[in-house]
Amino acid sequence: MAALAGADETDTVLVSVSGVAGLAPALAAVRAGKRLALATKEVLVAAGALVLEEARRHHAEILPVDSEHSAIFQCMQAAGTQGCGNVERLILTASGGPFRTRTRAELGSVTAREALAHPTWRMGSKISIDSATMMNKGLEVIEARWLFDIPAERIAVVIHPQSVVHSLVEFCDGSMVAQLASPDMRTPILYALSYPARHRLCVPRLDLVQLRELTFFAPNHAVVPCLGLAYEALQRGGTAPAVLNAANEVAVQRFLRDEISFLDIPRTVETTLLAHTVVAQPTLADILAADAWARGVAAACTVAEPKTENRKPKTNS
């Protein structure tokens, strides 16, 4: 994949590989000065500072493909701003996944089949479970920090079950700009591939009259501690986000194999994070070593009652 991404005849590279496996081709693309259309959020989660530095050094362009980050990018384009100097907050929306209305007690016995049944999107098993645990949104917070060069305390998350408002940007004057579209990944993929042009796309159009209402809720951190863990890893910095991501990948696979419960996913991630000694300014070798270490710890982890249920992220959401 790295050889393909850096090939001379390539001008745009779409990286859409589940997990940290997308890091090598993404680095190859930016080091070759390509336009990188990035759908693999784990690339910036694990190595955001490194990838962005390589992109600046080689004059490569990184465009987001995730619907939420594409929405933020489009909002900034529409508002005529190139940076976050006049941005108050980025507001990422989340569908809430299949367990949005469940209590913590009810989550103790959910099955993989239930967790995979996302109410809005049809996705692979890893990202579907991440959506159910809200880790997907946590990873997106970390990705947004690097894509838009904005601190974590200015990135908020709201639950939006209709999945029509894909994200919002709040500016320093109190104005908000939102991007709305039918929940269809073809739209952000095409925009990343054709930017700055827009091409006609045959996707379902929004009928605002028929839609009737858009609702928003604050996430319940006591029920979904993964979001708070992501903010914590971002605050710790260095290799902590890579450890968060690797431990989560292993925990999700263990859950899908019925080795651990649904609630054991955040417990495994927290246990691994707490055991990690952060490397503050990691090289690629440090990141890969932290990733491998975290996978080993998470695979062997015997989970206990977590300490995260009442931990809230330090944001202004």
The answer to whether residue 314 sits within a structural domain is: no
> What was the pLDDT predicted at 108?
83
- What pLDDT score was predicted for residue 194? 94
Compute the C-alpha angle 314/157/102, nearest 5°: 100
Residue 151 has φ and ψ, to the nearest 5°, of -70, 160
Q: What is the pLDDT of residues 165-203, one digit of tens each?
A: 999 999 999 999 999 999 899 999 999 999 999 999 999
What is each CA distance from 139 to 12, 14, 58, 160, 313, in whole angstroms? 24, 19, 26, 17, 13
Q: What is the pLDDT of residue 304?
A: 55
Nearest to 175 by CA among 257, 239, 91: 91
Q: How far apart are CA 22 and CA 20, in angstroms?
A: 5
Average pLDDT, the chain: 90
**CATH at residue 248:** 1.10.1740.10
CA separation for the pair 258, 292 (Å, rounded)? 22
Q: What is the pLDDT of residue 316?
A: 43
Helix (H, G, I), strand (E, B) or coil at 148: coil
Residue 306 has pLDDT above 90, yes or no: no
What percent of the chain is modeled with pLDDT above 70? 93
Please check the confidence at residue 317 and state whether its pLDDT lies above 70: no
User: Does 142 reside within a domain?
Assistant: yes
pLDDT value at 154 more than 60: yes
pLDDT tens digits, 70-112: 999 999 998 887 667 789 999 999 988 777 878 888 888 888 8
β-bridge partners, 177: 169
Instruction: State the pLDDT confidence band at 115, using cuts at 50, 70 and 90.
Output: confident
Residue at token pair 């990691």: 282
Question: 216: Cβ–Cβ under 8 A, 6 or more apart, which residues?
Answer: 93, 158, 159, 160
Give mean pLDDT, residues 250-258: 95
What's residue 308's pLDDT?
A: 46
In this structure, are 164 and 202 located in the same domain? yes
* Number of structural domains in the chain: 3
What average pLDDT does range 223-231 have in this prediction? 92
Query: Which residue, chain included where needed, has tokens 């490569």?
Result: 60
pLDDT in tens, 125-136: 888 899 889 999
Same domain, 91 and 207: yes
- In 3-state terms, what secondary structure has residue 159? strand
The conformation of residue 205, written as its DSSP 8-state character, comes to: P
Instruction: Let me know whether 278 and 197 are in one domain.
Output: no
Q: Which domain holds residue 188?
A: 68-223
Q: Cα separations (Å) of 88 from 140, 155, 213, 235, 316?
A: 18, 9, 26, 19, 10
Residue 143 lies inside a defined structural domain of this protein: yes
Task: Report how far residue 232's alpha carbon sits from residue 228's, in angstroms, rounded to the nearest whole number.
Answer: 6
- How high is the pLDDT of residue 310? 43
